[in-house]
Each structure stands twice: as structure tokens, then as C-alpha cells.
Amino acid sequence: MKITLKDGSVREFDRPMTAREIAGEISEGLARAACAAEIDGEVCDLRTVIAHDAELSILTAREEAGLRVLRHTASHVLAQAVKRLYPDTKLAIGPAIDDGFYYDLDFAKPLQAEELGAIEDEMKKIIKEDLPIERFELPRKEALAWAAAQGEPYKEELIRDLPEGEAISFYRQGEFTDLCAGPHLMSTRGVGKAFKIMSMAGAYWRGSEKNKMLTRIYATAFAKKEELEAYEKMLEEAKKRDHRKLGRELQLFMSDELVGKGMPMFLPKGYTIWRILENYIRDKEIKLGYQHVLTPCVGTVDLYKTSGHWDHYQQNMFPAMEVEDEVYVLRPMNCPHHMRIYANQPHSYRNLPVRIGEIAHDFRFEASGTIKGIERVRHFCQNDAHLFVTPDQIRDEFSKVVALIFDTYKDFGITNYRCVLSLRDPADKVKYHDDDAMWNTAENALREVLNELKLDYTEEIGEAAFYGPKLDVNVKPAVGPEITLSTCQLDFCLPARFQLTYIDKDNTERTPVVLHRAILGSLDRFMAYLIEETMGNFPVWLAPVQVKVLPISDKFMDYAEKVTAQLEEAGLRVELDRRGEKIGYKIREAQKEKVPYMLIVGQKEEEDGVVSVRSRSGGEEGRMACGEFIARVTEEVRTRKQN
């Protein structure tokens, strides 16, 4: 057998070995740091793994897979601490997640936030006790008896849901035992000191509002304290940039429980940014030959049965509504409507490609716990388009979409992104349209085009749309995980399902290919991204208020109105502060509102026919003629100058 160490060196042995023997063969330091082993790509417990003929890699918390093992073990330490302090608590689940771990618990009486410190202190004691962690299995009947004897109804439900014949594994550490598939560290000491309880929230058992609300305790853990400290600093920065906080402070959008969760409403300043984004991308598309349409926000269930969404996407749709003799649904996307628009008239190869665009309102059911400001909502607006092309036009049209994406990113100063070719999981016959030949054709076609364009990209299995592969452009924000802004999907499926045709050169009917594409994605999410990237300091061309005119006192209001009128005539977005406040207060308020420019006018400015300019970034910039200032700002808007 082979053992690969963290330094990349490989040691070979001529006999099978237990994990204890493996730990004895490697350095003491590595043995302490080891989190798990990896055999044929599958992560296993280092304590219980028995050597295979395949190569075995030792994982530490420096690897992503090893860090997840550490965090998973930490979740068991958290649950053990809770059971020590609150013995009547019932255990649910406690997985590792991307930025830490959590455990869902059913407390006998509500847990208070101030009690989290005591749980964290108890976790430190358990880690210091260095309790060995032991894995064992039980037959189904004995496993159910264990859950019943322990008074753990959630564990009992999980056991009953396991397939017959599947191994039912448990992990024991001291007096604490938990149902779990693992893997885990060799002892509680391995969790170390770099962990912290972050918060708590409500969470429905199994994510269903029909079930009981449990208490979810969120926490995180790292290999080193320095990593935890860096993570905490990142969270502080994220709080400053949170678009929900900035949206409230800058009066961009609001939510209202009476209107509904995930149904944000854009206030005048927020809708100004919205209109700029909408006009920007529509104008760009019209120049490229897109024909914009307007379609209804509902469709019949039959429409979505034809498209396949009813079979593959129904869980993300709102419930159907019966109206007289028809059944309607709020649409989750627009492609079925655009398919019907294409089918409205006959087509020849001579008039392809047909590019149908729409700034379209869509509705998707998101669990209340996943809703986040305007980033993840139940009602959103897509910058959507569908390109109906011949097979020979795929490369050219796809290339134009890619060029449009990167040209748009240039205008918004987006430079940190990566391209992903999202493919289906061939083993998943439920999520994806079941047609191997179609998938092979579509995936190979998209891969060939990406290679011809010489784009750097990675491939990810299981991330395709149900009807076809796609290019996703994932953007890395200043803080937090990357997000997908733009996408272009290649679809041989829906045109066939809707029986779309065109007359080819040989006078025969052919089925077009469709490119589904979104450049800004949803305008809601794109705006959330912009708010957080700029911290509300929008470049002049995007700022809802570009200039504020601040008269020193009411005596100069007439001159201030004259200046304001000149700015408005030039097409700038300007506000006149008519309040009878002192000028220092007016300046501070304009700075809080993150207005790019302030024009201060008083006696000297009126006498000389000028304005005193103060910028958001540079402070006092001196006096200049109003016309000169207008020319400067107008040029910044024209060139879409970044901050």
C-alpha cells in the first residue's frame, strides 16, 4: 500500500496496516494534525480505516476535505456540550458547511443568546479532555432501540428513513454518542482552540414549515487561530458592505411583511439605479440585434409541462392556481413564453438567428430561511434572452454572448471572475432531461466553442440546467463566496419539445438550437453585488443622486435654484438642499448619502457666477464655473468612469 504525506512524499508498505499502525509510521506532528484519510477519492476516518491496495492520502485541516472533518467533529463537541448543560435537549442534525458548522437542537425551553458563552466554555472542556472518538455500527433494530432508549425522536426518524440493508454507524466520545455517517477526528482534542460559536437562529426540522421549529446554533472552526481571526475580520468587513444595511441607510429598497417575504420594493433612489441598469443593458442588446418583448408573469401548467419545468423544476415554483377551466402558475423563468413567440410565425435559415430579449419579472419559491435582501428573493427581474440559431451559428452567437459579458464587466469594473462549464450528472435521471445523445452533443459543442475561444475554464459535474449544459461566469466579490452573475446555456431539448422549426437551405424543416443567456443575471442580485462592491459609493454614472447643491443660507436660494436648473438641463441627477440647516450639517448629511459631488454656493460664488466643488473622494476641490463642472461630470458619465 502507499501513503501520501502532506509534503507530497509517498511511503510504500508491503502489508495491510490499521490506522493506528499508519499513525505510528508517520511523524508525531502529522499524527496529531491528521484529520482523515482519503482512499480512491473517498474521505474516511483515520482511526478506523484499514489499509487498501489503493493509494491512501493523509488529510489535515489545511485541505478542504480535512477541514470539513474537523468542523464535523466540532459539531459533535457542540452537541455534547449542549447535552451536558441541557440534558433534556433532543438532537437533530449537525453538518459541516462552507464557512463552519451548525447543529439543530430541540431545547426543552428556549435558549437565550447570552447562554451561548456557557456552551462554548463547555466545548473547551470537552476538547481538553481529549476524548477518543470511536465508530461502531448497529443493526437496524438495535439502532432504533438505541434512539428510543435515548429519547431521540429525530434520530429515530432518520434511522427509519435509511434504506434497508444500509450500514447504520454511530460515533462515541466519552458519555456522548451520535448517529452519524462520519468521518471524524481521532479525538476531541484535534478540534483545537480555533473555534467560535457565531449565532443562533430558528430552523424548521428538515426545512419544512409543516415541522417543528428547532434552534440552530451556528459556529465555525479552523486549523489555526490566525485563520479564525482572519475570518472574523472578514465578517466585520462583510457587515459594513451588507447590501441590506446599506439599502436601508441609503433608502434604496425596503421589505414589508404585509407585502410578503422575499418581495422587496424599490424606493425612488433604488429604482433610479434599477432604471439605469435596465436601460443600459437593453440599449446594448438592441444595438446587437435583439428584439425586446413583453410577456405575462403567469402561464398555464400545460405550458410548463410542455417545456419540462413541471417535471424537473416544480419544487421551485409557486402552487398552481385554478381559474375557471384553466390552471395557471407564476412563471419561474421566461423560456417557454419565448418559445411560443418564436413559434408564432414561420422561419427560414435566412432570418436566423432570432434574438428575443426581455427584462422579465419571475417568481420562484424560496424557503424563508434562504431569503436575503434583494440577493435571493421570491420575485425578481431577469435580464433574459433566447437566441434561436442554426447549428452552424452556435459558435458565432456564443462568441458574441461571451464578448457582451466581458464588455459589460469592463463598464462595471468587474475583473475578478472565472468561467465554469457546467455539465449534467449522467447518473441523475430525475434532475436532467433523459437523453444521453442530446447531452453528449450539447456538451461537446459547448466545450469545442470554449476551446476555440481559448477561454480558461473549469468543468463542474451536476451544475447544468435540466435541459442543457451552460457557461457560468462566477464573480468573486470583495467579501464572501463567489456568485454567478452571467450565464449562457446551450439547449437542444426545449426547441424539440415545442416542435420549433425553420426551413433550411435544402427546403427541409429543421429544429433550431437555442442559447439561453443572461448578462446581468437578475437585476436584483446584480444591484446587491454593486452595493456591496462599492459600499454604496456608486460611480457617478450609476449614482441615484449625482450632485447636491448646498446653499450656505436661504439668502442664496435663488442662485442655488439657478445652478440646479443648469444641472438638470444638462441631464444630471441633482438635488437642492432647501433645509435651513448650517452648511456643515448639510455637507455631513450629503456624505452619509454618499453623493459623488456637492456644490456649495454662497455670496462669493453668486457674485463671481461660480460654484465651490466638494467631491466624495477628494474633499474640497476649489471653485469653477458651473459650465466647466457640468462638462467634467458629463464626461465621467459618458465614459462610465469608475471610482
| Residue 141 and residue 38 in one domain | no
Of 72, 76, 364, 586, the active-site residue reads: 364
Cis amide linkage into residue 87, ω under 30° from 0: no
Give the range among 289-293, 407-411, 458-462, 482-486 with minimum mean pLDDT: 458-462
Give catalytic status of residue 400 as yes or no. no
Domain around 388: 253-534
Q: Are 79 and 102 in contact (CB under 8 A)?
A: no
Q: Which of 83, 243, 331, 386 is catalytic?
A: 386
Share of the chain above pLDDT 90, in %: 68
Cell of 386: 433566447
The pLDDT score that the predictor gives to residue 572 is 97
Residue 8 is part of a domain; what is its CATH number? 3.10.20.30
Q: Are 30 and 6 in contact (CB under 8 A)?
A: yes
Which residue among 104, 178, 362, 384 is the active-site one?
384
643 lies in some domain: no
**Same-domain status, 199 and 96:** yes
Among 173, 382, 393, 489, the active-site one is 382
CATH of residue 626: 3.40.50.800
316/462 same-domain check: yes
Please answer whether residues 601 and 559 qualify as being in contact, where contact means their C-beta atoms are separated by less than 8 angstroms. yes
pLDDT digits (tens, 9 = 90+) for 536-563: 999 999 999 999 999 999 999 999 999 9
SS3 string of 154-165?
HHHHHHHHCCCC
Q: Summarize pLDDT for 588-641 with one digit per residue, the tens.
A: 999 999 999 999 999 999 999 999 999 998 889 999 999 999 999 999 999 999
Parallel/antiparallel/unpaired status of strands 2-4 and 34-39: unpaired
pLDDT at 47: 58
Catalytic residue, from 243, 470, 510, 586: name it: 470
Q: Is residue 539 situated within a structural domain?
A: no
Considering the domain architecture, whether residues 354 and 478 belong to the same structural domain is answered as yes
The tally of CA atoms less than 13 A away on the side-chain side of residue 30 is 19
pLDDT greater than 70 at residue 305: yes
Q: Is the pLDDT of residue 43 over 70?
A: no
Query: What is d(CA 200, CA 494) in angstroms, rounded to the nearest whole number?
Result: 44
Q: What is the DSSP string of 105-161?
A: EE-SSPPPGGGHHHHHHHHHHHHHTT-BEEEEEE-HHHHHHHHHHHT-HHHHHHHHH
**350, 356 contact by CB (below 8 A):** no
- Do residues 574 and 485 both lie within one domain? no
Average pLDDT of span 110-138 = 94
Residue 248 falls inside a structural domain: no
Q: Which of 37, 60, 83 is the last residue of a domain?
A: 60
What integer pLDDT is reported at residue 605 of this predicted model? 93
CB distance 596 to 547 below 8 Å: yes
The verdict on 350 and 463 lying in the same domain is yes
Which element (helix H / strand E) includes 277?
helix 268-287
Q: Are residues 215 and 304 in the same domain?
A: no
Is 489 among the catalytic positions?
A: no
CATH of the domain at 81: 3.30.980.10
- Same domain? For 441 and 323 the reply is yes
For residues 9 and 316, what is the distance between their CA atoms, to the nearest angstrom? 48
Instruction: Tell me the C-alpha distance between 302 and 472, whole Å.
Output: 29
Our answer to whether residue 335 is catalytic in this structure is yes
Sheet holding 547-551, edge to edge: 574-576, 547-551, 597-601, 610-615, 619-625
Q: Of the candidates 499, 472, 475, which has an alpha carbon nearest to the alpha carbon of residue 487?
A: 472
**Max intra-chain CA distance, the chain:** 96
Where is pLDDT greater, at 469 or 349? 349
DSSP, res 376 = B
User: What's the CA gap between 509 and 382, in Å, rounded?
Assistant: 32
Q: What is the pLDDT of residue 366?
A: 87
Q: Is residue 631 part of a domain?
A: yes
Catalytic residue among 44, 335, 488, 626: 335
The per-residue pLDDT for 6 is: 47
- The three cell numbers locating residue 328: 395557471
Beta carbons within 8 Å of 358's beta carbon, 6+ residues apart: 292, 293, 294, 295, 334, 338, 382, 384, 385
489 inside domain: yes
Among the candidates 205, 234, 263, a domain finishes at 234
Same domain? 258 vs 160: no
For 98-109, what is the mean pLDDT?
94
CA pair distance 287, 558, nearest whole angstrom: 43
* 540, part of any domain: no
- Residue 176: closest CA among 89, 60, 68, 49: 89
386 is annotated as an active-site residue: yes
Measured distance CA(208)–CA(368) in Å, rounded: 10
Neighbours of 53 (CB within 10 A): 9
Answer whether 184's CB lies under 8 Å from 45's CB.
yes
Domain boundary among 44, 60, 76: 60
Which residues, in sequence order, are bridge partners of residue 599? 549, 613
Q: Pairing mode, if any, of strands 574-576 and 298-300?
A: unpaired
- Please tell me whether residues 581 and 455 are part of one structural domain: no
At 423, the pLDDT band (50, 70, 90 cuts) reads: confident
Euclidean distance between CA atoms 629 and 640, whole angstroms: 16
274, 523 Cβ separation under 8 angstroms: yes
Q: How many distinct structural domains can be found in the chain?
A: 4
Environment class of 13 (CB within 10 Å of its CB; exposed 0-12, middle 13-18, buried 19+): middle
How far apart CA 589 and CA 323 sit, in angstroms, is 52
Kindly give, in sequence order, each residue whose CB lies less than 8 Å from that of residue 564, ignoring residues fewer than 6 positions away: 549, 574, 576
For residue 502, the one-letter residue type is Y
Q: How confident is the model at residue 27 (pLDDT cuts 50, 70, 90)?
A: very low
527 shares a domain with 420: yes
Q: Is 245 exposed, middle or buried, given 0-12, 13-18 or 19+ CB atoms closer than 10 A? A: middle
Phi and psi torsions of 103, nearest 5° = -140, 130
Is 393 annotated as catalytic? no
In the prediction, which pLDDT does 65 show?
Answer: 80
pLDDT of residue 465: 76
What is the band of 286 on the pLDDT scale with cuts at 50, 70, 90?
Answer: very high
Q: What is the pLDDT of residue 368?
A: 79
The residues that bridge with 382 in the sheet, in sequence order, are 360, 522
pLDDT at 147 over 80: yes
Active-site entry in 269, 338, 516, 594? 516
* pLDDT given for residue 23 in this prediction: 54
CB contact at 8 A, 629 and 534: no
> Rounded mean pLDDT of 343-363?
95
Q: How many CA atoms lie within 13 A of 323 on its CB side?
A: 11
User: What's the chain's Rg over C-alpha atoms?
Assistant: 30
Please indicate, yes or no, whether residues 200 and 294 belong to a single structural domain of this protein.
Answer: no
Residues 6+ apart with CB under 8 A from 111: 86, 105, 200, 215, 217
**Residue 520 falls inside a structural domain:** yes
Residue 41 burial class via C-beta count within 10 angstroms: exposed 0-12, middle 13-18, buried 19 and up: exposed
* Chain-centroid distance, C-alpha 262: 15
CATH number at residue 477: 3.30.930.10
Residue 243 lies in a domain: no
- Least Cα distance to 468 among 496, 439, 497, 440 occurs for 439
Residue 41: the pLDDT is 60
Residue, of 411 and 437, whose pLDDT is higher:
411
Q: What is the three-class DSSP state of 359?
A: strand
Average per-residue pLDDT in the chain?
88
H/E run at residue 354: strand 354-363
